[in-house]
Structure 1
Amino acid sequence: MTTQLRIGTRGSPLALAQAHETRDRLSAAHPHLAAPGAIEIVVIKTTGDQILDRTLAEAGGKGLFTKELEDALLGDRVDLAVHSMKDVPTWLPDGLEISTLLPREDPRDAFFSRSGKGLDELEPGSVVGTAGLRRQAQVLERRPDLKVVPLRGNVQTRLKKLDAGEVDATLLALAGLRRLGLTDRITAILEPETMLPAVAQGAIGIEIRSADERTRALLAPLHCAETAARVTAERALLAALDGSCRTPIAALARLEGDTLVFETKVLSADGRQVFTAHRTGKAADAAALGADAGAEIKAQLPPDFFTP
């Protein structure tokens, strides 16, 4: 059978798991796509996958995980690209859009330590490895007596580095661990009060060419309106702050019926400066709520706060 749909993805185990979930949902929604060969998964190596010797902030930001996938979309080499939404830049290239959001996984962070101790119980001076400024800043906000060092690589690589004693502890997104079946090793799940998640953490977004109505129609049954409202609020915050992974920004929107409850926190890299905002409103006003919270925080920030 000839290929009817081409899914672009990074090649990490987690990225492939997300691409397979997308394929399986498409096949379930459209029986003609369930035939062998109807959907092709196209693995594309991104710049972010190749840079492992420094943090994403140092290497240039979130677009490192999406640019090559977007180039493939614009060049008609794939029909859709599957992303972890937390890796997607605030603004997309002309002609592309996120048309579909799958049901969001648990957005919380998971904590791992070799000693089996939680974040609050680690010995002073313990070394915590993490790839992101958001986690670094919140760890240091809570435990300024700890040392935080960069730790890059996919989930399995980071856990191997932990086992090898390169660090005493690390943090990973619970959503990815669940998708990979690796939750049995978790020391503790960190509640948002302890570690507020990254914007859109746990959400899978599907990017398409804006003019591709055929692919848009095929993906329509997969779209989750609840996830869309939550992610819309969180990404509106990023847009208001002009935020990237060079800035420790955390946010979480949740729905209680038709009410959206939104929390955000922006920190300095050392965790010493912390700015927060809270909003509650209608889910239909998600974008406005996120943008308004962003405006409140931006008004409090020192002029050079976002300067690398």
Structure 2
Amino acid sequence: MSAARTERAAWGFVSPALAAVGLFLVIPVFGALLLSLTDFDIYALADIRNMRFVGLDNYVNLLGNPLFWTAMRNTAWFAVLGVPATIVASLLAAVLLNSKMVKWRPIWRVAFFAPYVTTLVATAVVWRYLLHTRYGVINWVLDGFGIPPVDWLGQPETAIPAILIFAVWKLFGYSMLIFLAVLQTVPEELYEAARIDGAGPVKQFRHVTLPAIAPTVLLVSIISVATFFQLFAEPYVMTQGGPAQSTVTVLYFMYEEGFKWWNLGSASAVAFILFLCIFAITLVQLWVSRRLGSET
């Protein structure tokens, strides 16, 4: 088969996928970008002639909106605390489940991964009742130690940690599987050589495991940043953004702008600001990874 025929055949195979990506991703994204430059609202839904082109006004108004900055600050806290916690929890679980000393490893893998594949809204409702001030199991356990009940979801000081713990519990199983897969590719000969040199478990992890899985740590960190910057269902189900707007995230703010107040142009602008934030943080992560790689 000639090179031209091979190329045509290749394009024939990938064209359905490219068409689907263009139809369901590229065109909607481009449409949302145009929408963010208009004042599209409920009146424009009734009659498109009510829509006006406003340029960057939506972006300027957002930057002057205190609630938007509150949502950005809350989202940043979720990401700053949640990403390291997810990486540490998932990596620790993967290392333990990769060890031959742990019994019933398949059962533990299923147990750790099960929260990730369970319906998010259902698990959020269950956790909301676990954290209930009067009837929650957590406060019942604390009461056994003589600790008074805590209003976990009713106080700003405890609402973010409570949602954060739930989010890490819900998400770490996926990262655990990624780490577990790459840990099984690390040659056993490297660990044997390290043991011969007198390295204990901690030094083996530091000098053998971590260098071998460094690219995977970067991948998991990028995925985790994108995930925590897009938290929505957790605060929506558990706190509705409260108390005192302490759990309003950027995605929750975008939802209210678009579907509560019907400011669809403003909501589209929020989406693109969120995209730029995630994109910028990803670039920083890649830059730091290259710098650390060049220094080692």
Q: TM-score band (shorter)?
A: under 0.3
Which has more helix, going by share of residues? 2
Structure with greater contact order relative to length (CA < 8 Å, sep ≥ 6): 2
When the two structures are superposed, what TM-score results if normalisation uses the length of structure 2?
Answer: 0.25
Which has more strand, going by share of residues? 1
When the two structures are superposed, what TM-score results if normalisation uses the length of structure 1?
Answer: 0.24
Highest Rg: 1 or 2? 2
